C-alpha cells in the first residue's frame, strides 16, 4: 500500500503558488513603473509650459520647481508690469493642481525722465523707461501740449528698470509748465523736481501751487528749485 510522504502535498501547493506570487509582484512593479513614468511625463509637460510662460522680458531671474502637479515659482522681477504678466501667464497653464508664488519686485535700475526746455521751441528728452509704450505715450503728450516743440530724444527702453509710477501725473504737470520759457523737469524715484526761471511772480505762485497739489494727490514729493524775477 502506497503511503503519502508527509509534507509532499504542502510543497506541491507552495510550488504552484510561486508563479501567482511572482505574477502579483511583477504587476505591482509594472504599476509603480507606469505611475513613475506618468508622473515624469506630467512634470515634463508642466515644466515646458512654465518655461514658455516665464519667457518674458524682465523675468530672467525667475525660477520654478515642479513636483507632480504642484508648482513653485520664485525669484525676482524688476517691476509690477512684469509681475502681472508673469502671474497671468502662469494662471493660464493647464494641469496645475497648486501654485505657490514667491516672487519679489526688485528693480535693477530706477526709471526716470528729464525734460529740458531752453527758451526756444527746442525740448530735450532724456530718460530710461520700462516699456516702449511709455515712450510713445510721452511723444503723443508733447505733440498735443507743445505741438511746436522740436524734440531731441534720448529715451531708452529697458525692461529691467522700475515702473514709471509718475507716468499718470506727467501730462497734467507738463500742462502746468508748457508756457514757461526756461525749465528743467525731472521725474524719478518718488519725486518730481522743477527748476528754471519764471518772469512773473503770479505765474510762479500759480504753477508751484498746482504742482504741489498734483504731486501730493499722487503720493509724490515735489522739489521746487524755480527762481523768479519777482515781477507782478
- For residue 1, the model assigns a pLDDT of 47
- For residue 214, the model assigns a pLDDT of 92
Give the count of beta carbons closer than 10 Å to the beta carbon of residue 83: 20
DSSP states of the chain: ---PPTTHHHHHHHHHHHHHHHHHHHHHHHHHHHHHHHHHHHHHHHHHHHHHHT-STT-TT-EEEEETTEEEEEEEESSHHHHHHHHHHHHT-SS-SEEEEEEEE--SB--EEEEEEESSSEEEEEEEES-HHHHHHHHHHHHHHSTT-EEEEEEEE-TTBPP-TTHHHHHHHHHHHTT-SEEEEEE-SSEEEEEEEEEEHHHHHHHHHHHHHHHHHTT-EEEEEEEEEEE-
Residue 148: pLDDT band with limits 50, 70, 90: confident
% pLDDT > 70, the chain? 77
pTM above 0.85?
no
pLDDT higher than threshold 90 for residue 213: yes
How confident is the model over 182-211, as a mean pLDDT? 87
116-128 per-position pLDDT tens digit: 987 777 899 999 9
C-alpha distances out from residue 60 to 33, 41, 123, 160, Å = 36, 25, 36, 10
Which range, of 57-71, 98-112, 159-173, averages the lowest pLDDT? 57-71
Domains of the chain as residue ranges with CATH: 1-106 (3.30.1340.30), 112-231 (3.40.1520.20)
How confident is the model over 188-197, as a mean pLDDT? 88
52-87 per-position pLDDT tens digit: 777 788 888 888 887 877 888 888 888 888 889 888
Q: Which residue has the higher pLDDT, 124 or 12?
A: 124
Amino acid at each position: 500500500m502506497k503511503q503519502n510522504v508527509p509534507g509532499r502535498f504542502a510543497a506541491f501547493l507552495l510550488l504552484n503558488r510561486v508563479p501567482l506570487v511572482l505574477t502579483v509582484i511583477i504587476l505591482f512593479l509594472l504599476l509603480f513603473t507606469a505611475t513613475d513614468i506618468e508622473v515624469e511625463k506630467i512634470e515634463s509637460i508642466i515644466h515646458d509650459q512654465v518655461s514658455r510662460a516665464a519667457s518674458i522680458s524682465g523675468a530672467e531671474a525667475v525660477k520654478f520647481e515642479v513636483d507632480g502637479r504642484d508648482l513653485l515659482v520664485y525669484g525676482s522681477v524688476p517691476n509690477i508690469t512684469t509681475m502681472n504678466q508673469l502671474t497671468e501667464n502662469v494662471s493660464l497653464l493647464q494641469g496645475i493642481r497648486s501654485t505657490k508664488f514667491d516672487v519679489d519686485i526688485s528693480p535693477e535700475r530706477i526709471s526716470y525722465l528729464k525734460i529740458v526746455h531752453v527758451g526756444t521751441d527746442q525740448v530735450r528728452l532724456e530718460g530710461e523707461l520700462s516699456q516702449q509704450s511709455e515712450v510713445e505715450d510721452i511723444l503723443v503728450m508733447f505733440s498735443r501740449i507743445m505741438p511746436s516743440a522740436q524734440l531731441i530724444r534720448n529715451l531708452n527702453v529697458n525692461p529691467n528698470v522700475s515702473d514709471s509710477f509718475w507716468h499718470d501725473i506727467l501730462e497734467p504737470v507738463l500742462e502746468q509748465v508748457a508756457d514757461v520759457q526756461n525749465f528743467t523737469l525731472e521725474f524719478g524715484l518718488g519725486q518730481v523736481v522743477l527748476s528754471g526761471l519764471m518772469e512773473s511772480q503770479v505765474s510762479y505762485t500759480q504753477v508751484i501751487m498746482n504742482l504741489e497739489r498734483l504731486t501730493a494727490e499722487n503720493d509724490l514729493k515735489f522739489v521746487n528749485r524755480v527762481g523768479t524775477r519777482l515781477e507782478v
